[in-house]
């Protein structure tokens, strides 16, 4: 049996990977657009040397994937998912059409990029790392090559040296790829190669020195290198065979963790996660500050006072970090247009199913489309596949209500009216309930007070006429419950 992998040749855009040129201010880097249309061909190999020749001939208009078409096709066309309706004969580069069929020989790709706070591993150190956590890999066919952005020169002057690295393992069954990836990530943690990364919005992300994304189907490896505009040139050399063995039986070579190892792994991740709390909070504050002034200016331009705009922006940004996108929050659509959540909720038929960039980090993966809107049902959501996947709840901006002396009954009426407008709050059997994850949860005094605090902004006026935020009084909560019960 031969090994298989997929070669993609792009037609839109014409170049894949990165483009480098010298500009007025020095080196300029551009990432080619996301693959929209391409032809594909399933290639075969019997030895690691044959695989080296094949991958060494990949051009900058091409990319490879260790996954293959689930349909069994060996040649054809792929298009972006958004264009699939107009091209029914084509496949899409998704897990629906590409995967790791059980019993298929091929390669597993290990993608190494150095952490920003450590020195990069050499080729020898990377090989030692892998054979330490999985010694039997040394008996397989293993190929090494530098990443597509390595070894770029301006004539004879080095601009970039070795950057990322790839290891390609010949495996007897690519159907085991995702399990192997999970086990390797855990064993990297057990051997000191795991860490917590902090995203620009302050999310703590479990990571290791090997990128876990490459163990997923339909992932592209830009093995053809970068397009360098003269006088820049790339000198990556040729792929290097590290081990000339045969097909690796991953089920025996890379075994699951024992219960004791699993316990140690969980403890290591938990400790690292806790240690990163301070850095994550600092990142969240930077994220809010980077957006605050622009958002306040946008709201105040509508005639809103600076004080009210500031309060609304602070509430909106804090809610977004907690997984809730309020009406004032801007989401960037796939076409680049910024649209407020309130506008989206007012136009559900238009926006249901629409694609977006990541709501918190629209520049994630160079502005890759990662989100999709799901607007029908009690709890509208936006699901982003960035950073492992996050589902954000969509809500209108909280109602601004005022508490006045002697008018608690009127306040309770206003709160009940506001809750009646919420799509996930209902009266069932003379009780208030909220729909959460497809289930109705009764609202009692304490959780109703919390819900009111998230759906309404309650204020009193001070002696100077300024708005001061306050919590909803307990007796007002009790009035709301009593009115709901009839």
Q: Which of 242, 275, 308 is the last residue of a domain?
A: 275
Same domain, 260 and 120: yes
Distance CA(311)–CA(317), nearest Å, equals 10
Structure tokens that stand for 154 in this block:
């301006």
245, 95, 238, 221: which is closest to 169 by C-alpha?
245
- Comparing 113 with 50, which gets the higher pLDDT? 50
Instruction: List, for residues 214-265, the tens digit of each pLDDT value.
Output: 999 999 999 999 999 999 999 999 999 999 999 999 999 999 999 999 999 9
Rounded Cα–Cα distance for residues 206 and 268 (Å):
11
Q: Does 147 share its domain with 160?
A: yes
**Integer distance in angstroms from the first to the last C-alpha of the chain?**
73
Q: Taking the mean position of all CA atoms in its chain, how far away is CA 65?
A: 20
Helices (H), 191-322: 250-253, 259-275, 277-300, 306-321
Mean pLDDT of the chain: 93
Query: What confidence category does residue 486 fall into, taking pLDDT thresholds of 50, 70 and 90?
Result: low
Residues 376 and 407 in one domain: no
Please tell me the number of Cα atoms within 13 Å of 87 on its side-chain side: 16
- 122 vs 4: CA distance, rounded Å: 29
Give the least confident one: 292-296, 359-363, 468-472. Answer: 468-472
- Measured distance CA(72)–CA(98) in Å, rounded: 10
Is pLDDT of 377 > 80? no
* 127: phi then psi, degrees, rounded to nearest 5: -65, -40
Radius of gyration of the chain (CA): 27
Range of the domain at 472: 399-484
Q: Which helix (H) or strand (E) holds 92?
A: strand 91-92
Are the C-beta atoms of 350 and 334 separated by less than 8 Å?
no
Q: Which two tokens stand for residue 468?
A: 């001061």
Report whether pLDDT(1) > 80: no
Q: Does the pLDDT of residue 107 top 70, yes or no?
A: yes
Same domain, 410 and 340: no
Rounded to the nearest 10°, the torsion over CA 90, 92, 96, 102 is: 80
pLDDT at 189 over 70: yes
Q: Which of 216, 206, 146 is nearest to 181 (CA)?
A: 216
59 and 159: one domain?
A: yes
* Together in a domain, 268 and 333: no
Tell me which of 158-167, 296-305, 418-427 is least confident.
Answer: 418-427
Choosing from 245, 275, 305, the residue where a domain stops is 275
Whether pLDDT at 429 is above 80: no
Lowest-confidence range among 32-36, 46-50, 299-303?
A: 32-36
- Residue of higher predicted confidence among 159 and 452: 159
pLDDT digits over 117-139, tens only?
A: 888 999 999 999 999 999 999 99
- Residue of 68 and 465 predicted with greater confidence: 68
The average pLDDT across 447-461 equals 86
- Whether 81 and 169 share a structural domain: yes
What phi and psi, each to the nearest 5 degrees, are found at residue 467?
Answer: -80, 130
Measured CA to CA in angstroms, residue 412 lies from 23, 239, 398, 401, 456 at distances of: 63, 72, 15, 10, 12
The answer on pLDDT for 33 being more than 80 is no
243 and 162 in a common domain: yes
Domain boundary among 394, 423, 454: 394
pLDDT score recorded for residue 406: 84
Phi, psi of 239 (to 5 degrees): -60, 150
Give the chain's domain count: 3
The angle, 0 to 180 degrees and rounded to 10, between the axes of the packed helices 277-300 and 306-321 is: 140
- What secondary structure does DSSP assign to 113-160, as a single string? ---TTSPPPPHHHHHHHHHHH-GGGGGBEEEEEE-TT-SEEETTEEEE
Cis peptide before 231 (omega within 30 of 0): yes
- Residue 93 and residue 49 share a domain: yes
pLDDT at 365: 84
Structure tokens at 389: 């996947």
Asked if 130 and 109 sit in the same domain, the reply is yes
Question: Using one digit for the tens of pLDDT, what is the confidence trace for 157-172?
Answer: 999 999 999 999 999 9
Q: Is the pLDDT reported for residue 367 higher than 90?
A: no
Looking at the fold, whether 341 and 446 belong to one and the same domain comes out as: no
The closest alpha carbon to 352, from 391, 379, 380, 331, belongs to 380
**Pair (350, 207) in one structural domain:** no
Comparing CA positions, the residue from 166, 139, 143, 128 lying closest to residue 247 is: 139
């Amino acid at each position: 049996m031969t090994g298989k992998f997929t070669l993609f040749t792009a037609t839109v855009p014409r170049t894949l990977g990165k483009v480098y040129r010298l500009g007025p201010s020095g080196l300029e880097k551009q990432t080619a657009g996301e693959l929209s249309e391409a032809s594909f061909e399933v290639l075969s190999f019997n030895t690691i040397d044959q695989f080296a020749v094949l991958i060494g001939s990949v051009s900058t208009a091409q990319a490879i994937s260790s996954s293959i078409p689930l349909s069994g096709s060996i040649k054809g066309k792929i298009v972006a998912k958004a264009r699939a309706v107009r091209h029914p004969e084509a496949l899409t580069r998704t897990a629906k059409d590409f995967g790791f069929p059980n019993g298929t020989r091929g390669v597993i790709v290990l993608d190494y990029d150095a952490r920003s706070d450590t020195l990069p591993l050499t080729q020898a150190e990377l090989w030692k790392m892998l054979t330490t956590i999985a010694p039997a890999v040394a008996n397989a066919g293993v190929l090494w090559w530098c990443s597509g952005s390595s070894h770029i020169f301006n004539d004879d002057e080095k601009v970039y040296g070795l950057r990322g690295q790839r290891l390609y393992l010949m495996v007897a069954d690519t159907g085991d790829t995702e399990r192997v990836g999970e086990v390797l990530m855990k064993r990297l943690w057990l051997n000191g190669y795991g860490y917590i990364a902090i995203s620009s919005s302050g999310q703590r992300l479990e990571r290791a020195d090997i990128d876990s994304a490459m163990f997923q189907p339909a992932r592209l490896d830009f093995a053809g290198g970068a397009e360098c505009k003269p006088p820049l040139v790339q000198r990556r050399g040729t792929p290097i065979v590290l081990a000339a063995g045969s097909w690796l039986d991953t089920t025996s070579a890379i075994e699951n963790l024992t219960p004791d190892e699993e316990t140690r792994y969980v403890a290591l991740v938990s400790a690292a996660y806790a240690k990163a709390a301070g850095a994550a909070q600092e990142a969240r504050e930077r994220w809010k500050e980077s957006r605050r002034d622009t958002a306040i200016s946008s709201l105040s331009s509508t005639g809103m006072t600076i004080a009210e705009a500031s309060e609304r922006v602070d509430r909106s940004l804090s809610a977004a970090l907690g997984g809730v996108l309020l009406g004032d929050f801007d989401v960037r659509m796939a076409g680049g247009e910024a649209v407020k959540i309130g506008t989206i909720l007012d136009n559900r038929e238009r926006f249901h199913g629409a694609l977006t960039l990541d709501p918190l980090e629209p520049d994630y993966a160079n502005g890759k489309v990662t989100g999709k809107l799901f607007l029908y049902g009690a709890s509208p959501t936006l699901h982003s596949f960035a950073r492992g996947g996050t589902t954000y709840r969509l809500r209108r901006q909280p109602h601004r209500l005022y508490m006045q002396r002697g008018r608690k009954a009127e306040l309770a009426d206003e709160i009940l009216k506001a809750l009646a407008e919420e799509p996930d709050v209902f009266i069932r059997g003379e009780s208030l309930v909220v729909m959460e994850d497809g289930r109705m949860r009764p609202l009692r005094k304490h959780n109703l007070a919390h819900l009111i605090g998230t759906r309404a902004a309650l204020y009193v006026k001070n002696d100077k006429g300024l708005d001061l935020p306050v919590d909803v009084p307990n007796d007002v909560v009790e009035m709301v419950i009593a009115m709901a019960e009839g």
